[in-house]
Amino acid sequence: MDRPAHAAIALYPQSGLAPSARRVRALIRRHAYLLLKSWPRIVSMAYYPTVTMVLWAFLTIYLTPTTNFLKDAPGFFIGAVLLWDILFRGQLGVSLTLIEELYSRNLANLFVSPLRLHEFIAGQLVMSVLRALIGVGGACVFAFLLFHYSIFSFGFPLIAFFTMLIVFGWAIGLAVSALILRWGLGAEELAWAAMFLVAPVSGVYYPIGVLPPWLQGVANALPSAHVFEGMRALLLDGMFRWDHFAWAAGLNVVYLALGVLVFRWAIAYAREHGMLMQMGE
Amino acid sequence: MSAHLPSSIADDAAIVVSGLYKNYKEVQAVKGISFTVRRGTTTALLGGNGAGKTTTLSMLLGVLTPTAGTITMLGEDTLRHRYRVLPRINFTSPYVDLPKRLTVRENLRVFADLYGLRDPRGRIAELAAQFDLEGLLKRPYGHLSAGQRTRVSLAKALLNQPEVLLLDEPTASLDPDIGDRMRTYLEDYQRDSRCTMLLASHNMGEVERMCDDVIMLRAGIVVDQGSPDELIARYGRADMEEVFLDIARGGDEQPAAGAAAENIAM
């Protein structure tokens, strides 16, 4: 090994918006390195949304001759499944970013670096959007190629649907991340399973009016139910329901704040119990 | 915190630990330890398994919240102003790894960006030359031997040219040749940069060679401290290995002067 020179190295300033953005970018770079060098990872991200989309597309073809609303809105189920995957991938993206760090036993390196907790969370959220775009984007391409269905047929409301679903996915993803931090990688399965607790009451494929009254109350408290009600209103009645949008946005503010709070609590718990240094495989 | 110390000590101190406790339910891992590490020195934190070394280092790094006590590092209260200190320190630990699928260069680049290096490529090239990592830069970290990983971890720890370097078993998995080169590098780095090093080690030869001061822990308390030469003379032993055995086993061999040294500032 060569003898060191030890000339003083130059560092950027550490506080302010630009340094903060630089650290978030570093975290994204770390996960982008991981994603981009593994084509099986990228394929698997688009695989499940695509297979599910194909399943619902064939069901649509089968039911259309005998089902009036599908004649009016042939993209009903395909649109629903693609929007659902935005929510699911959004949540998964947040949780998997943490799980990758736990697998790598890298969490302490990150938390001993100048990376702030809110920057770590921001990195999780950006990765969630990227994962959702890759996963659902692949399925959208196949929907267009195989069934001539374009998700852009929603028009501008697609932006509202996407935003509301991805933000709700962030909130659940942060809560799941908190549970994994609290109970370790043994709780990893929650990352894959948690969203399926939300699915039946979100009215992805059916109106929430079919649920028992008490469960409708639960559904109305979920942003996802308002998005899918709004989607049905758009497809069947041709109108954008601002009331559902407002409910979804308001509820998302509450859930995201709760998600951030519970994640911060979990980090504090991990610091209290020495888990940041020891967690991992 | 440092206001409670004589100003000459406070000015000279890189790390001041005062009344530090860590309790896990009924277990008291660290029991009110206090010590001071002078700027520009290398200090060893010694003790048997479970003595509280890693717990203490974790609290210094901010990844473990103390039950009570204060830590001042580079003049900042680290429990209140952690982010003022973190850019100026770094660490390695066998309990922590780097992402295994990323190459050595990618790992170093990510941390160079996290620490805000203006010339990450230049710094990585410099460290790669110093640690003989040039041939490994394109290899995934997970494909490296234990010794190679240790060198990469040390390179990561020096990316930001830290003023305080916390090292947990820095040469544990290195062969004698690489271990010796690493010690030489750390000594040169410490001398040239005036960096403060606090290292936990079980290698007493390393401690005698590298360290100006030694803090001996047993069962979560500081049982003795001093320079290696002072401790060897005080215990009437031939080397630090024997001193370590005396103190770690807590036998009657321990001199009264040593026992009285608990929780004193060096």
What secondary structure does DSSP assign to B69-98, as a single string? EEEEETTEETTT-HHHHGGGEEEE-TT---
* Mean pLDDT computed over every residue of chain B: 88
In a domain, A84, yes or no: yes
Range of the domain at A95: 21-278
pLDDT for the residue B211: 95
Domain B2-97+164-259, what architecture? 3-Layer(aba) Sandwich (3.40)
Closest CB to A114: pick one of B115, B129, B181: B115
**Is the Cβ pair A274, B24 closer than 8 Å?**
yes
Give tens-digit pLDDT for B98-131.
999 999 999 999 999 999 999 999 999 999 998 8
pLDDT at B9 over 60: no
- To the nearest whole Å, the CA of B256 is away from the closest chain A CA by 35
In a domain, A16, yes or no: no
Domain positions in chain B are 2-97+164-259
**Is the Cβ pair A11, B63 closer than 8 Å?**
no
- Touching A: B residues 30-49, CB under 8 Å: none
In a domain, A64, yes or no: yes
Give tens-digit pLDDT for B239-265.
999 999 988 777 544 443 433 333 333
Which whole number is the average pLDDT over B157-178?
Answer: 90
In a domain, A14, yes or no: no
pLDDT for the residue B57: 95
Please tell me if residue A264 touches chain B, with a CB cutoff of 8 Å: no
Q: Provide the percentage of residues in chain B whose pLDDT is more than 90.
A: 70
- Touching B: A residues 115-144, CB under 8 Å: 115-116
Tally of domains within chain A: 1
In a domain, A209, yes or no: yes
pLDDT for the residue B3: 40
Tell me which residues of chain A have a pLDDT lower than 50.
1-5
Which whole number is the average pLDDT over B190-198?
Answer: 92
Please tell me if residue B24 touches chain A, with a CB cutoff of 8 Å: yes
Give the bridge partners for B89, in sequence order. B164
Please tell me if residue A271 touches chain B, with a CB cutoff of 8 Å: yes
Q: Provide the percentage of residues in chain B whose pLDDT is more than 70.
A: 90
In a domain, A15, yes or no: no
β-pair type (B42-46, B68-73): unpaired
- CA-nearest residue to B107 within chain A is A30
Burial class (CB in 10 A: 0-12, 13-18, 19+), B213: buried
pLDDT at B219 over 80: yes
- Touching A: B residues 190-219, CB under 8 Å: 192-193
pLDDT for the residue A80: 96
Token digits of residue A2: 């060569």
In a domain, A1, yes or no: no
In a domain, A184, yes or no: yes
Token digits of residue A271: 């610091």
Instruction: Give chain B positions within 8 Å (CB) of A35.
Output: none
Give the bridge partners for B140, in sequence order. B103
Give tens-digit pLDDT for B31-68.
999 999 999 999 999 998 889 999 999 999 999 999 99
Q: How confident is the model at residue B90 (pLDDT cuts 50, 70, 90)?
A: very high
pTM: 0.91
Run of H or E residues at A212: none
Which of B61, B74, B115 is the best mutation test for A, with the most CBs of A within 10 A?
A: B115
- To the nearest whole Å, the CA of B236 is away from the closest chain A CA by 37
Residue among B89, B19, B39, B46 at smallest CA distance from B214: B46
